[in-house]
Amino acid sequence: METRAYIEKLLARADISINGSRPWDMQLHRADVLHDVLARGNLGLGEGYMRGDWDCEQLDEFFYRILRAQLGQEIKPTRFLWQHLKARWLNLQSRARAFQVGEQHYDLGNQLYQAMLDERMVYTCGYWQRAENLADAQRDKLELICQKLQLRPGMQLLDIGCGWGSFMKYAAENYSVRCVGVTVSKAQVELGEKMCAGLPIEFRLQDYREINEHFDAVVSIGMFEHVGQKNYDSFMEVAARSLKDDGLFLLHTIGRNRDVRGTDPWINRHIFPNGELPCLAHIDNSSRAHFTAEDIHNFGADYNRTLMAWSDNFERNWEQLSGDYDETFKRMWRYYLHSCAGAFRARDLQLWQWVFSKSGIEGGYHRPTLD
- Active site amino acids: 340
What CA–CA distance (Å, rounded) separates 320 from 111? 9
Beta bridge partners of 202: 180
Q: 45: Cβ–Cβ under 8 A, 6 or more apart, which residues?
A: 33, 36, 37, 266
Contact of 226 with 93, CB cutoff 8 Å? yes
What CA–CA distance (Å, rounded) separates 20 from 14? 13
Phi-psi region at 233: left, alpha or beta (left = phi > 0; alpha = psi -120 to 50): alpha
Residues 240-274, buried b or exposed e (16+ Cβ, 10 A)?
bebbeeebbbbbbbbbbeeeeebbbbbbbebbbbb
